[in-house]
Structure 1
């Protein structure tokens, strides 16, 4: 089974437990991914940005984010912006293209205070007991607060570890 088939299988499983609003949101998010990314690239990325969804391009994305946001208050003030949506999409698509993972979304309602509620997330393509999640907006918030280079690539280790642990378990079954 190739990565696209694995991703599709996990997306189908996710959809079984998602609320209808969450399914609709995720369907819209995925349906216009390419168009939104292209528009974001043209509008917000500097000339010469290495727009190739490579892990190395994440270092360049960090530079763009850090130039835009001097501190957490700048970042919070820009919440919901077209720029941040595009950055989330690029980060998530880079991980999805380079690692075995998929987009996810939960909608537990507007009154539920949960850091995973109503934010796009990247989930490892693993069984539930190994699944781990990256919330790009939370990673960006951490990047802006800490201002340490390499955060975006380093955080991809969450997915890599989940995949490794699931693989180890399969190996130990044999």
Structure 2
């Protein structure tokens, strides 16, 4: 990754737009998903509860897309990403300015910080690209309906473990 891309990634990880989005969604989460018996502890297991809520509340990917800026969808998006941040060491990324050329894709996502690039082998399909996991939480919520009942939110954490599996196989 060249220096310009590194700088953009730093800006995308630390900017007022991202900070405001995170703050807004955190507040919305507590409003839509009140704490009860430590259910919302940012554990992998808590993703099963989040998934159950999404599957009960929505019946299709299109419904989630239609409500992408609503409290429940935004809050669930934040929570899913935050589990990645807290359990896998990912960081949030979001453009400092809206992408007017592609507003449909102008959404926050999580990835491993650039400083940990060397922990992940190059991408399988393109060795010139880095292999850090990248996850768009809202897309994964919609994918619950696109990929079918065997797709689960906890599976979104699998790419972070790929490196550990490769290392274990080598030993």
TM-score normalised per structure 2: 0.70
Q: For 2:41 and 2:51, locate their aligned partners in 1 and report how far apart those are by CA, in whole Å.
A: 15
Q: Is the 8 A contact 2:29 2:71 kept in 1?
A: no
Query: In the alignment, does 2:110 pair up with 1:109?
Result: no
Q: Which moved more, 1:66-75 or 1:126-135?
A: 126-135
Unaligned runs of 5+ in 2: 1-5, 119-129
Instruction: State the partner residue of 2:46.
Output: 57
Instruction: State the partner residue of 1:39.
Output: 31
Instruction: State the partner residue of 1:123.
Output: 111
Query: In the alignment, does 2:144 pair up with 1:152?
Result: no
Instruction: State the partner residue of 1:3.
Output: none
Shift of 1:89: 1.1
Does the residue aligned with 2:49 lie in a helix, a strand or coil?
Answer: helix
Q: For 2:98 and 2:62, locate their aligned partners in 1 and report how far apart those are by CA, in whole Å.
A: 27
Q: For 1:74 and 1:112, locate their aligned partners in 2 and report how far apart those are by CA, in whole Å.
A: 21
Unaligned runs of 5+ in 1: 1-10, 169-174
Q: Which moved more, 1:150-159 or 1:31-40?
A: 31-40
Q: Is the 8 A contact 1:122 1:135 kept in 2?
A: yes
Shift of 1:130: 3.2
The structure 1 segments of at least 4 consecutive aligned residues displaced by more than 4 Å after TM superposition are 31-34
Q: Measured at CA, do residues 108 and 59 of structure 1 come closer, stay the same or move farther in structure 2, by a change above 3 Å?
A: same
Shift of 1:156: 0.9
Q: For 1:160 and 1:101, locate their aligned partners in 2 and report how far apart those are by CA, in whole Å.
A: 12
Q: Is the 8 A contact 1:103 1:121 kept in 2?
A: yes
Q: For 1:33 and 1:159, locate their aligned partners in 2 and report how far apart those are by CA, in whole Å.
A: 24
Does the residue aligned with 2:40 lie in a helix, a strand or coil?
Answer: coil
Shift of 1:30: 3.8
Instruction: State the partner residue of 2:64.
Output: 75
Shift of 1:60: 1.1
Q: Measured at CA, do residues 68 and 147 of structure 1 come closer, stay the same or move farther in structure 2, by a change above 3 Å?
A: farther
Aligned alpha-carbon RMSD (Å) = 3.4
